[in-house]
Chain A
Amino acid sequence: MFTGASLAYGIPNVGTSLDAWFEMDYIVLWGFNPNVTRIPDAHYLWEAKWRGAKVVVIAPDYNPTAIHADLWIPIRPGTDSFLALSLVHVVLEENLYQEEFIREQTDLPFLVREDDGRLLRLADLRKGSRDDVFFCWDEASGKHAALPGSQGHFRKTLRLGTLRPALTGRWQVTGHDGRAIPVTTAFERVRAEAAKFAPERTQAHTGIHPEVVRRLAREYAAAHDPGLTIGFSLHKYAWGILACWGQALFCALTGHDVVDTEHQWSLGGIGPLSSPKPARFGSGFLGEWFAGKMWETFLRHYAGKAFAERSGIAPEELVRLAEHAREEKWFAHHGEPKVRLLFADNTFRRNKSSVHYRKAVLDATELLVNANVRMDSSAELADYVLPAASHYETWDIRGEVGYHRFANLAVPAPGLAPVGEAKTEWEICRLLAEHIAAAAKRRGIDRVADPEFTVTRGEAKEPVTRDLDTLADDFTLQGKLATDKDVVQWLLDNVPAFRPWKLTDAAERGFIVLGSEAGLTSPLYADRPYRSFEEQFYLKRPYPTLSGRQQFYVDHALYLRLGCACPTARAPLHPPKFPLAFYSPHTRWGIHSTWRTSKLMLRMQRGVPHVNLSRADAARRGIRDGDRVRVFNDVGAFYARAKILPALQPGTLMMDHAWEPHQFAGRAGMDTPVAGLLSPLELAGGWGHLRFGAEWDGNQLANESAVDVERA
Chain B
Amino acid sequence: MSKRQLAMVMDLNKCIGCQTCTMACKTQWTNRNGRDYMYWNNVETQPGRGYPRDWRRAGGGFDDAGALTRGRVPDLARDYGAPFDLDYERALNADAGHAPPAFAAPPPLAPTAPPAYGPNWDEDQGAGDYPNAYYFYLPRICNHCSNPACLAACPRKAIYKREEDGIVLVDQSRCRGYQHCIEACPYKKVYFNPQFNRSEKCIFCYPRVEQGRAPACAHQCVGRIRFVGFLDDEDGPVFKLVTKWQAALPLHAEFGTRPNVYYVPPLSPPRLDAEGRPTGERRIPDAVLVERFGPRVPEVLALLEAERERKRRGERSELMDTLIAYRHAEMFKLDAAYYGAAKPKAARRVIPIVAERARPDGAPETEA
A608 within 8 A of B: yes
Contact of A643 among B23, B125, B276, B308 (CB under 8 A): B125
Give B1-28 interface residues, CB cut-off 8 Å to A: 13-14, 16-20, 22-23, 26-27
Tell whether, in the assembled complex, residue B133 and residue A647 are in contact, meaning their CB atoms are under 8 Å apart: yes
Q: Which of A64, A74, A606 lies in contact with B16, CB distance below 8 A? A: A64
Task: Indicate if A324 sits at the interface (CB-CB under 8 A).
Answer: no
Task: Report whether A662 and B277 are in contact in the complex, using a CB–CB cutoff of 8 Å.
Answer: no
Q: Which residues of the partner chain B approach A650 to less than 8 Å between Cβ atoms? A: 130
Within 8 A of B (CB), among A43-80: 43, 46-47, 49-53, 57, 62, 64-72, 74
Identify which of B13, B130, B135, B272 gathers the most chain A CB atoms within 10 Å of its CB. Answer: B130
A 259-276 contacts with B by CB, 8 A: none
The answer to whether A588 touches B23, judged by C-beta atoms less than 8 angstroms apart, is no
B92 in contact with A375 (CB, 8 Å): yes
Residues A50 and B320 in contact, CB atoms below 8 Å apart = yes
Chain B contacts for A50, CB-based, 8 A: 13, 308, 311, 320, 323-324
Residue from the list B83, B124, B131 in contact with A74, Cβ < 8 A: B131
Q: Are A602 and B14 in contact (CB under 8 A)?
A: no
Assembled-state Cα–Cα distance A25/B308 (Å): 12
Min CB distance B50 to A, Å, is: 14
Q: How far apart sit A664 and B75, CA to CA, in the bound complex (Å)? A: 29
Q: A72 contacts B269, CB within 8 Å?
A: yes
- Bound CA span A52–B309, Å: 6
Stretch binding the partner chain, chosen from A34-42, A296-304, A390-398? A34-42
The closest CB in chain A to the CB of B326 belongs to A47
Q: CA separation between A607 and B324, bound complex, in Å?
A: 36
Asked if B278 CB lies within 8 Å of chain A CBs, one says yes
Residues of A within 8 A of B118 (CB): 603-607
B-contact 0/1 string along A203-228, CB 8 Å cutoff: 00001110110000000000000000
CB under 8 Å from chain B, chain A span 65-124: 65-72, 74
B222 on the A face (CB < 8 A): yes
CB-contact partner of A646 in B127, B308, B312, B313, under 8 A: B127
Query: Is A644 interfacial (CB 8 A cutoff)?
Result: yes
Contact with A along B182-200 (1 / 0, CB 8 A): 0000000000000000000
Q: Is B344's beta carbon under 8 Å from chain A? A: no
Interface centre among A42, A64, A71 (most CB of B within 10 A): A64
Residue interface bits A418-457, CB-to-B below 8 A is 1, else 0: 0000000000000000000000000000000000000000
Contact B17 A35 (CB under 8 A): yes
Whether A584 sits at the interface, judged by CB under 8 Å, is no
Q: Which residue of A lies closest to B26 (CB)?
A: A600
Q: Counting CB contacts under 8 A, is B164 at the interface?
A: no
Contact A47 to B20, CB < 8 A, known contacts A42-B223, A603-B83, A662-B91: no
> Do A608 and B114 touch (CB < 8 A)?
yes
Q: Which residues on A sit within 8 Å (CB–CB) of B67?
A: none
A204 to B332, CA, bound (A): 51
A410 within 8 A of B: no
Q: Nearest-CB distance from B80 to chain A (Å)? A: 11
A660 to B309, CA, bound (A): 46
Count of A-B contacts judged by CB separation below 8 Å:
175
B130 touches A71 (CB 8 A): no
Q: Answer yes or no: A191 CB below 8 A from chain B CBs.
A: no
CA distance A588 to B16 in the complex (A): 10
Query: In chain B, residues 100-125, which have Cβ atoms closer than 8 Å to a Cβ of chain A?
Result: 103, 105, 108-111, 114-115, 118-121, 123-125
B91, chain A: closest CB distance, angstroms: 6
Q: Type the 1/0 row for B256-294, where 1 means its CB is closer than 8 Å to any CB of A.
A: 000000000011111010011110000000000000000
Contact of B311 among A52, A64, A65 (CB under 8 A): A52
Q: How far is the CA of A597 from the CA of B134 in the complex (A)?
A: 29
Is B224 an interface residue when CB atoms closer than 8 A count as contact? Answer: yes
Evaluate contact between A648 and B130: CB separation under 8 angstroms: yes
Task: For A179, list chain B residues within 8 Å (CB).
Answer: none
Tell whether A602 pairs with B124 under 8 Å between CB atoms, given A42-B223, A209-B275. no
The B contact surface, by secondary structure, is loop
Q: Is A597 within 8 A of B223, CB to CB?
A: no
Please report the C-alpha to C-alpha distance between residue A588 and residue B120 in the assembled complex, in whole angstroms. 13
A40 shortest CB reach to chain B, Å: 5
Q: Please, which residues of chain A bring their CB within 8 A of the CB of B31? A: 600
Tell me the minimal C-beta distance from A650 to chain B in angstroms. 6
* Contact of A649 with B by CB under 8 A: yes
A64, A65, A615: the one within 8 Å of B129 (CB): A615
Q: Is B175 an interface residue (CB 8 A)?
A: no
Q: Is B152 interfacial (CB 8 A cutoff)?
A: no
Looking at the complex, which one of B109, B120, B131, B222 makes contact with A604 (CB distance below 8 Å)?
A: B120
The 8 A CB mask of A461-496 against B (1 = contact, 0 = none) is 000000000000000000000000000000000000
A168 on interface, CB distance cutoff 8 Å? no
Is A178's CB within 8 Å of the partner chain B? Answer: no
* Interface residue? B338 (CB, 8 A): no
Contact between B86 and A42 (Cβ–Cβ < 8 Å)?
Answer: no
Give how many B residues have a beta carbon under 8 Å from the other chain's beta carbons: 68
Residue interface bits A647-667, CB-to-B below 8 A is 1, else 0? 111100000000010111111
Q: How many Å lie between the Cα of A65 and that of B19 in the bound state?
A: 15
- Per-residue A-contact encoding for B232-265, CB less than 8 Å = 1, 0 else: 0000000000000000000000000000000000
- A67-B268 contact in complex given A50-B320, A52-B311, A606-B118, C-beta closer than 8 Å: yes
By beta carbon, the residue of chain B nearest A209 is B276
- In the bound complex, what is the Cα–Cα distance between A7 and B262 (angstroms)? 50
* Residue B85, interface by CB 8 Å: yes
For chain A, residues 236 to 274, give those with C-beta under 8 angstroms from any C-beta of chain B.
none
CB–CB A74/B128 < 8 A? no
Bound-state Cα–Cα, A36 to B124, Å: 11
- Is A323 interfacial (CB-CB < 8 Å)? no
Q: A46-B223, A605-B118 are in contact. Are A646 and B126 (CB under 8 A)?
A: yes
* Binary per-residue interface labels of chain A (668-708) against chain B in the complex, 1 for a CB within 8 Å, 0 otherwise: 10000000000000000000000000000000000000000
Check B130 against A39 for contact (C-beta < 8 Å).
Answer: no
Cβ-defined contact, A599 with B86, below 8 A: yes
Q: Are A67 and B136 also in contact (CB < 8 A) when A604-B22, A606-B121, A645-B124 are?
A: yes
CA distance A207 to B31 in the complex (A): 47
User: When chains A and B are docked, how far (Å) is the Cα of A173 from the Cα of B126?
Assistant: 64
Q: Complex formed: what's the CA distance from A615 to B18 in Å? A: 25
* Nearest CB of chain A from residue B119's CB, rounded to whole Å: 6
Proximity string of chain B (219-235) to chain A, C-beta cutoff 8 Å, 1 when within and 0 when not: 00011100000000000
Residue of A nearest to B304 (CB): A50
- Whether A49 and B308, one on each chain, are in contact in the complex, defined by CB atoms closer than 8 angstroms, is yes
Interface centre among A35, A40, A664 (most CB of B within 10 A): A35
Contact, CB under 8 Å: A645 / B125: yes
Mark each residue of chain B from 70 to 112: 1 if its CB lies under 8 Å from any CB of chain A, else 0.
Answer: 0000000000010111101001100000000001010011110
| Residues of chain A contacted by B268 (CB below 8 angstroms) | 67
Query: B17 to A71, Cβ gap below 8 A?
Result: no
Q: Does A380 contact B (CB under 8 A)?
A: yes
Query: Contact between A52 and B313 (Cβ–Cβ < 8 Å)?
Result: yes
Docked pose: A556 CA to B277 CA in angstroms: 40
Sampled A-B contacts (21; CB under 8 Å)? A39-B20, A46-B14, A50-B311, A50-B323, A51-B311, A69-B269, A70-B269, A72-B269, A74-B272, A74-B276, A375-B88, A599-B86, A643-B125, A646-B126, A646-B127, A646-B130, A647-B125, A649-B130, A662-B91, A662-B92, A665-B108
6 closest pairs, A vs B, by CB? A52-B312, A646-B133, A35-B16, A209-B276, A52-B311, A647-B133
A62-B131, A663-B110 known, 16 other contacts, Cβ within 8 Å:
A43-B14, A43-B224, A43-B325, A46-B223, A209-B277, A212-B278, A600-B27, A603-B118, A604-B118, A604-B119, A606-B118, A607-B84, A614-B130, A646-B128, A649-B131, A650-B130
